[in-house]
Structure 1
Amino acid sequence: MSHNITYSTADKADVLAYLGSRGDLTADQRSRFEMMRQAARADQADLDRQGVDWGLSIPDALEHLVAGHTASQAEYAGNAYHSAMQHIIDHNASDPAQLGTYSKPSTFFGKVDDEMRRLGVPADLLPHGYLYGGLPDGFPSIPFSMDGYPAIGHLPLARTKAAADAYRAVLDRIPSDFRYDVRELAEKLEFQHKEWEYATKNLDWYTQDTLFFQLV
């Protein structure tokens, strides 16, 4: 089975505002929340057509997160909570972009990490660490997805240039099997840094600070 990795940028505070809000939302947030509900229902309808039962529906998981808990004891509740969380991110983020499709992304990026670590890339910049790093500090924890997917990762936008520079520095020394993907990742991180740097300096309304990754 292949797994797809996408990413988008957001202000983590905008996402966090929905978690445990218990209905204490602004008019704009309530409007976004209704769109999240619609998207969650559509996702759940797709699961129902496939005969997939996680023991907790995505719409119910979304309501749990906004109410401030992850109380379901269903075996696959983590899948529903991750899917619901992704809807909250999506409705507060830029349009998603494609990073890549991999048959075993955790294995692949784990090996990339091993090579980069050997070549001196700092631990906090290793790609597996942030692709599978979960939500930012200050966010409530959510149960793990069974089998590891869907998954959420993040990298502060302020760290994207450091990561790209570190990858460029070792690109000619890592095994050729990894070189194309590492180059692609570096290019995407460089682009995100340039966008973030320009917007931070020139747009007084811009507050995005986090690159969120979705793995499905």
Structure 2
Amino acid sequence: MSRNISYNTADQNDIIGFLGAGELTADQQRILGNVRKYAEAHQADLERQGVDWGLTVPEALEHLVAGRADSDAECAGNAYYTALQKIIDRNGSDPSQVGTFSRPSTFFGLMDDELRRLGVPADLLPGDFLFAGPPDGIPFHIPCPVDGTPDIGRLPLARAKPAADAYRAVLDRVDSAFSHELGQLAGQLEFEHDEWRSAQSIDWYSQDTIFFSITG
């Protein structure tokens, strides 16, 4: 099955602030109300498809808000990651598309090997951030999804330009199997860096992370 990779930008602390942080502010409560609606809609879609994870997405969301992810359902990780993605989406910018891949972990793993061969630092390899998992700082463990999807990735916006520069530096030498996707990713990271830099003078702006969503 093909996997779709999209991304948006958000403040990582805003996301963590919904996860077991205690009493929520009025603004957080408003956002959470919207998150609940999207969680319910996603669950309804799963039920139309006959998908049963043993834990519903709305239930998983309430667990996360309460500060736990301890369901023993076999596919609980799928529900928790989906619920977490709803929190990210409702706190972040509008999504953009990276692309659709039949086996993204394999494709980007091979791309990482090629970039590593060309001298790109390990901490800038796409596979390192596309599949990085939930944000650091969540005060409890969230189990991974069965079959690796949905998945979550993240890259600090401060690292977007160094990554794009590293890709541009090797683009004329990279294997042609990866050149199109690498050039596109470099362009997207450059754009997000420029947007981030231009927003630094806005007093309410606090987005600091590119979040990637892998679904399918």
In 1, distance between residues paired with 2:92 and 2:126? Answer: 21
User: Contact 2:38 / 2:86 at 8 angstroms: preserved in 1?
Assistant: yes
Q: Deviations over 1:127-179 (max 9, x none)?
A: 01100001232124311110000000000000000000000011111110100
Unaligned stretches of 5+ in structure 1? none
Could you tell me which residue of structure 2 aligns to residue 167 of structure 1?
A: 167
In 1, distance between residues paired with 2:42 and 2:81? Answer: 12
Could you tell me which residue of structure 1 aligns to residue 107 of structure 2?
A: 108
Pairing of 1:140-155 with structure 2 (within 5 A): 140-155=140-155
In 2, distance between residues paired with 1:28 and 1:182? Answer: 38
**2:196 is the alignment partner of 1:196:** yes
In 2, distance between residues paired with 1:193 and 1:42? Answer: 33
Could you tell me which residue of structure 2 aligns to residue 60 of structure 1?
A: 59
In 2, distance between residues paired with 1:98 and 1:212? Answer: 12
In 1, distance between residues paired with 2:162 and 2:122? Answer: 12
Pairing of 1:19-168 with structure 2 (within 5 A): 19-22=19-22, 24-139=23-138, 140-168=140-168
Could you tell me which residue of structure 2 aligns to residue 3 of structure 1?
A: 3
Moved over 3 A (4+): none
Unaligned stretches of 5+ in structure 2? none
SS at the partner of 2:205? coil
Could you tell me which residue of structure 2 aligns to residue 209 of structure 1?
A: 208
SS at the partner of 1:134? coil
Shift of 1:197: 0.6
- What amino acid is the match of 1:61? A
User: Contact 2:16 / 2:135 at 8 angstroms: preserved in 1?
Assistant: no
Cα RMSD after superposing both structures: 0.8
Q: Deviations over 1:100-153 (max 9, x none)?
A: 000111100000000001111111100011000012321243111100000000
- Superposition TM-score, scaled by structure 1 size: 0.97
- What amino acid is the match of 1:160? A
In 1, distance between residues paired with 2:134 and 2:169? Answer: 28
- What amino acid is the match of 1:62? L
